[in-house]
Amino acid sequence: MCVAALVVTALTVGPDPAVAAPVPAVDPMFRVSGGGRLAVDGGLLLGLPAALGTGLSTGVGAGISSGDRFAWGARVSWSTATESSLLWTVTQADLRLRATAAIQQRAGRGQFALRLGLGPTIVHESRLRNQGQRAGLTGSDLETSAWVPLPAADLEGVVALHVAGPWLLLLSGGPALAIVDGGARWGWTAQLGAGWQP
Amino acid sequence: MRRARAITLVPPLVALAALAALGGCGDRLQGFGGPPTPLVSFQVLVSGDLASVRKPAGDTSPTSLQVALVWGAQWLTEPFCVLPAENPDASAVIAAGCRDPFAFTPLRVAADVPIEIGVPATLSLFDLPAADVMVGDITARVAYGAMVVYDDRDGSGTLEVAMPHRTRSGFDEPGQFDGGDSPDIVYGASFVTMTAPDQRVVFREGAFYDTGFYPRSGCPHPRPGFSVVHAGGFSGDAALMNPGSLPPEDPASCTADGESDPIINVALQPPASVEEVSCVQRRDDSSVRYREPPPDMPELTSGGRVHACAHLPTFDAPTQGGLIQLVVSGRSSDRCKGLTHYTLRGCRENVSCPVPDWDFTATPPAWWPCDQ
């Protein structure tokens, strides 16, 4: 009974087409310009750590690309993850350097792309022995660090929306692969950010 | 133009490829893996002739000697054991059932490693002592431990601590009576009693204040963190004669390790003189639980038990309402000394309760040996 009343109310209280407001003109502020070959973007990045095995790596990323339907470019991102076990607190910072190739298609204000990135992920690992400071450990007994470059690749889907002038809102993400200790390790990355395409 | 742009992309791509090819070079990521770093390691050396102290005497069966780090508990003996004995029977019970009031009392076994006589062994700790084995607050607390050498007779790989065995009481449910001790045999310890030379493991956090927790007078304070300290012990008689003050140690016997860890020496001893270091206590605050006498007679003499009738001990008045207790020692074969106290009237937690849980003062059990 109540549901029926709600449906009837919704149907009768709907907007009257005769008095509907006209479609507003595009605000000059949101008028799109640019759309050239060059695009630069940056934003916040989330992903699985390349080698840690658990946790969520958070950081920032940026990239540049050039091209029309096919685009080339380069990307760099940095993110960290810190996790603990009974014995260790491990922090791994992943510096991803990628050469990218993308195939992209514009659709209205939007732009869709599939982007492949190849390059090293340089991992800086810092391990702190839990309870070590209380026990009086020092030096390498207390903390160790290592730099290790890993071969890696990303495949990302990219959605870009021209918001205003040359500015874009970008969302990207997809699977990531790193070779750790001779074995493949799968993960994912995602980025939300802003772009500039003059 | 397009070809020129492609050519300019080649150097950075080659550089990226070279970096990628470096994967696996240089350092290695360990994550949560790899061998754990010990928080501290101690060197322990056992000396002596095991055959001469074997239990039972002449036993030639293979031994599995191990050394365990045992953190100590804060423990106070009960008044009956330190006040003057009321009669010869009470003296016999004190001798048979009371621990050394200055003895090291275990709380928890922290780590074990196999050891051979005359060969130093390394015992590593991977965890700090928990808060419950440290005395003090987070700004100033300390834990003391002893290295205990034992024959791991049950092959468990760790020292099984034991408890004193009491006799039956009126509250016991069927099957509640405790069982036997583990077969582990203790042959030595680096810290047996405060009245003998000892080498104790210390973990200190924050400041250090003199307390009643295995106190030492006349020795420097242990340094923060882990350390091993040594002292010659004080006179137990002097300590009992002057309650409230602690006889000083000989300063010459006080040593503390420096940056390098010294070897902790443990001499093999007859188990009877050292096995109390593996005996945890049911009560650690000198309080006594008085029990309801069972309807039928408990073990009073078997297995080397001795018993005595005595007034309830008190530091203030000579007697406590005239109530007599029956005190029974443990068996001579028990690993741990202990006493069982019976009264004809009382409550589970307070013998002087106004409304007793049991009261047999008018009609004592037929076996009750004391005059009421």
- Residue B116, class by beta-carbon neighbours within 10 Å (0-12 exposed, 13-18 middle, 19+ buried)? exposed
Nearest-Cα distance to chain A for B33, in Å, is 9
For residue B31, report the phi and psi dihedrals to the nearest 5 degrees. Answer: 55, -130
pLDDT in tens, B84-140: 899 999 999 999 999 999 999 999 999 999 999 999 999 999 999 999 999 999 899
* Domain residue ranges of chain B, discontinuous segments joined by +: 7-278, 290-359
Contact B22 A149 (CB under 8 A): yes
The whole-chain average pLDDT of chain B stands at 87
| pLDDT averaged per 10 residues, chain A (length 198) | 42 46 63 81 97 95 95 97 95 97 92 96 96 92 94 97 92 96 94 95
Contact A51 B29 (CB under 8 A): yes
| Structure tokens, B197 | 């030379």
> Taking phi first (over 0 means left), then psi (-120 to 50 degrees means alpha), and beta for anything else, what does residue A34 get?
left
Beta bridge partners of B64: none
pLDDT in tens, A30-69: 676 767 899 999 999 999 999 998 999 999 999 999 999 9
Contact B19 A66 (CB under 8 A): no
Beta bridge partners of B109: B70
List, as ranges, residues 28-87 from B with C-beta within 8 Å of A.
28-32, 36-37, 39-40
- ipTM surpasses 0.90: no
Residues in B closer than 8 angstroms to A100, CB to CB, are: none
Cis peptide before B106 (omega within 30 of 0): no
Residue of chain B with shortest Cα separation from A126: B31
The sign of the CA dihedral B338, B202, B189, B273 is negative
Written as one string, the DSSP assignment of B50-97 is SGGG-SSTT--S---EEEEEEEE---B--HHHHSPPSSHHHHHHHHHH
All structural domains of chain A, each given as residue ranges with its CATH number in brackets, are 36-196 (2.40.160.20)
| Measured distance CA(A75)–CA(A72) in Å, rounded | 10
Which pLDDT value is given to residue B344?
Answer: 93
Reported as type and span, the H/E element at residue B240 is: helix B236-241
- Residue B247, class by beta-carbon neighbours within 10 Å (0-12 exposed, 13-18 middle, 19+ buried)? middle
Q: Would an 8 Å CB–CB cutoff place B175 in contact with chain A? A: no
pTM confidence score: 0.80
| Structure tokens, B301 | 């003499």
pLDDT in tens, B157-170: 999 999 998 888 88
